[in-house]
Structure 1
Amino acid sequence: MTNSIKLNTGKAFPSISATLLDGTQVDLGKAYGGADWHMLVVYRGTHCPLCTRYLNLLEEQKSALAEIGVSVLAVSADSKAQLTEHMEKLTVSYPIAYGLTEAQMKALGLYISAPRSAQETDHNFAEPGLFIINEQGNVQAVDISNVPFLRPELEVVVRGLSFVRSQDDYPIRGTVEY
């Protein structure tokens, strides 16, 4: 049996940083651009066509997320060169960071995979994760998968967040400890 960490909803999102293409270090859990909530999307890397599709679909939801005060950031374990290559396939305007380490993946409770071959990629990588961090810096919602084809539909996520944000007393779900 392997040990794994599960981020508890309602608790502080860990302070983890990664690098943007321009060299800027970003805190993966911090909202930006006037938003008070934040969505972090962890993707597998440039080798994954489903990730490319998902990131491009996320761009279509960016303005709806901004309207409800949610900023967007994506990150992978890819290198700067790999992200640069991937940007040629992406039509996104939100920031994407690179260099997520295995220790950071573990701190986020993500599944980690080894490449099937050198043609796929040259490093272990995180399987998909989606984190919603609220204005207190706490985990509001989380979705973690071990495969790229099990991810939440982004339109459903936006509708759900719109509903939650419109309520004064909607609780953070999944906080019962066991």
Structure 2
Amino acid sequence: MTNSIKLTTGSQFPTVEATLLDGTSVNLGKAHSGADWQMLVVYRGKHCPLCVRYLNLLEAHQQSLKDIGVSVSAVSADSKAQLAENMEKLTITYPIAYGLTEQQMKQLGLYISLPRSENETDHNFAEPGLFVINEQGVLQAVNISNTPFLRPELDVVVRGLSFVRSQDDYPIRGTLAY
């Protein structure tokens, strides 16, 4: 068993960079497309059909998130070739990056898994994570799972973020670390 960090809500989100298919390097914690908040979804990789489904569902919620000032990005540890192949199954318009390193996975406090075989994938990969970063670069909300079937429902996420964004004084939850 190894020790892992746990990001604390209310703290600065770390700088995590990855690469888009066009070769552009992006800071995954930075909002884009006119938004002031960022939602980062970490997915397992092209080998995961549940991830493909989740990423496609996220596309259906992108406009609702944009309407409340939240941009969306996704990332995995897949290679450029694996992401390019996965794009054939994805119907998304938000930025999606590849090349998340194990060091970055650990920095984000993600669970990391070994592939079951070379047929699954050729590298260790991150289990799902969802991070919401506010306009100050602070971690507003986080959900980390060790399996792809324990992700938050996107309808609930959008409704919750809509509520939080509509309040002037809604506090960041879970800021007491032990």
TM-score, normalization by structure 1: 0.99
Three-state SS of the structure 1 residue aligned to 2:59 is helix
Q: Which runs of 5+ in 2 are unaligned?
A: none
Instruction: Specify the alignment match of 1:43 in structure 2.
Output: 43
Three-state SS of the structure 2 residue aligned to 1:157 is helix
Shift of 1:2: 1.4
Instruction: Specify the alignment match of 1:88 in structure 2.
Output: 88
The C-alpha deviation readout for 1:46-82, integer Å capped at 9, x for no partner, is 0000000000000000000000000000000000000
Equivalent-residue separation in structure 2 for 1:44 and 1:150 (angstroms) = 13
Equivalent-residue separation in structure 2 for 1:16 and 1:59 (angstroms) = 22
The C-alpha deviation readout for 1:63-102, integer Å capped at 9, x for no partner, is 0000000000000000000000000000000010000000
Instruction: Specify the alignment match of 1:109 in structure 2.
Output: 109
Q: Which runs of 5+ in 1 are unaligned?
A: none
Moved over 2 A (4+): none
Q: Does 1:12 align with 2:12?
A: yes
- Tell me which amino acid in the other structure corresponds to 1:152: P
Three-state SS of the structure 2 residue aligned to 1:140 is strand
Residues 136-155 of structure 1 aligned to structure 2 (within 5 Å):
136-155=136-155
TM-score, normalization by structure 2: 0.99
Tell me how large the CA RMSD over aligned residues is: 0.5
Instruction: Specify the alignment match of 2:33 in structure 1.
Output: 33
Equivalent-residue separation in structure 1 for 2:127 and 2:18 (angstroms) = 17
Shift of 1:177: 2.4
Instruction: Specify the alignment match of 2:98 in structure 1.
Output: 98
